[in-house]
Amino acid sequence: MVLVIPIILLLLLIGAVVIFNKLVGLRQMTENGWSDIEVQLKRRADLIPRLVSTVKGYAAHERKLFEEVAAKRSQALAAGNNPRERGVAESRLKQPVGRIIALAEDYPDLKANTNFLELQEELTDTEDKIEMARRFYNGAVRELNTKVQTIPSNLVAGPMGFKIRDYFEIDVVDAAAPDVEFSA
């Protein structure tokens, strides 16, 4: 009987260490996922001024739209690392960028511009990468949040400072890509 209590305590300690290590791994996975999202959002933010300058030559009278893109881009970059705030800001940016791409319909020379087509392709590729990074991050957040909130891991998570994380969501209504037809 005297030996049973130390064995139980040892097993509880080992269990707590295993749970702690799992939580640390999940936290690292969420941080890695967020880092991937930030890389792609930065890439998109860097592409947007190039796209705007290419379109400006053809659609100079669209100044209000260009100013809106610049303002929304600044807001998105200023939103920082809060997934909820960043998602809202990125949703607001996506809409005017989509309108810039749709301008090509009104300007046949722009539609044929190699630089514009390359930038459009890069932007589309970046959007796909953002979506993949978002799925990875949100999956990691789901795993971490589940561990933080369920027994017995919540008994370790709370005292060790593990907290639930926000998902990175982009508003579907604002993020809807415009229907753009580029065929002749």
The domain locations on the chain are 13-175
96: cis peptide before it, omega within 30°? no
Superfamily name with CATH number, domain 13-175: LemA-like domain (1.20.1440.20)
Q: How far apart are CA 148 and CA 153, in angstroms?
A: 6
Residue that is written with structure tokens 């796209």 in the block: 51
pLDDT for position 131: 94
pLDDT, mean of each 10-residue run, the chain (184 residues): 89 96 97 96 93 84 87 91 91 89 82 86 93 96 97 95 94 46 40
pLDDT for position 172: 52
Number of residues assigned to the chain: 184
- Give the count of beta carbons closer than 10 Å to the beta carbon of residue 54: 19
Residue 141 burial (CB < 10 Å; 0-12/13-18/19+)?
buried
Query: What is the DSSP code (8-state) at residue 170?
Result: -
Sign of CA dihedral 90, 93, 95, 99: negative
Q: Which residues contact 27 (CB under 8 A, 6 or more apart)?
A: 144, 162
